[in-house]
Amino acid sequence: MTAKRKGERVRWRVVVIIEFVKAICKLLLLRITKGRPLVTPPLPEREVIPESPAQLEDDDIPPWLDTDDTSAMRKEEEKMRRARQAKEYKMKRTGLTLPNLPNSSDISNYLLSKVLTADDIKAPITLLNTISGSAQYAEYMHILQPVIYAAALSYYRHDPKSWKPWLIGISIEYAARQLRTESVRTTALEKEQWNKRGWAMGWWALRGGFYENDERKTAESVGWRGG
């Protein structure tokens, strides 16, 4: 029993140390960037490259090709051939056929999709404003919140249903959001990051005391009914 308690205490101590090291690294990043808020993920995400039309055509196989009915396949091929001929222009003297020109709106939409916006050509340091005053305290609270929550869980480790760690963690995160000053100079990247933090706060609230007292009973009852 003593060994089990000692192992539990050591496990929570390691968790607190890991969260403390992570907080130190975040504070160093905050200092290196001269007081600019941290972004998640720290590295820019790569834009999703759409598949080429050839790949899309290979993936989307028409249903009439996936059949053994030869007559149906010939009918569909004839329809496609006539549709192509209807779109082509046949020269009277030479008899050659010319394909129709592409739609001008398609070309315009494609070019507009490649146009760089004002945010795309900004210098990296201008994407985030330097924070000061209450906004800086809010960032400190957001960074230190995991450490304080882990320390509270370690202190109340013998009572997993205790609401105190959950209340401490949610209060710190809520206070950080309230301290954040809404400025007219807020950039698009800053708004995106605070929206992500809002969603993360919602998911975070489902852990700890909330899970042990409410969500766990619901999950177990649903699993029992399904079984």
Cα 213 from chain centre: 29
Kindly state the average pLDDT of the residues 71-89: 66
pLDDT in tens, 11-51: 889 999 999 999 999 999 889 888 888 887 766 666 666 65
User: Could you give the 3-state DSSP secondary structure of residue 142?
Assistant: helix
Place of tokens 């020109």: 101
67 pLDDT more than 60: no
- Asked if 117 and 176 count as a contact pair (C-beta separation under 8 A), the reply is no
pLDDT, the chain, mean: 75
Kindly state the average pLDDT of the residues 168-182: 84
Kindly state the average pLDDT of the residues 193-205: 84
| Alpha-carbon separation of residue 159 from 152, 164, 166 (angstroms) | 11, 10, 12
Q: Residue 132 is which amino acid?
A: S
Domain boundaries, the chain: 2-39+128-226, 63-113
DSSP state of 41: S
Of 211 and 84, the one with more pLDDT: 211
d(CA 55, CA 163): 53
What does the longest C-alpha to C-alpha distance in the chain come to? Answer: 100
Of 133 and 223, the one with more pLDDT: 133
pLDDT in tens, 120-167: 667 777 778 888 888 888 899 999 999 999 999 888 888 877 888 888
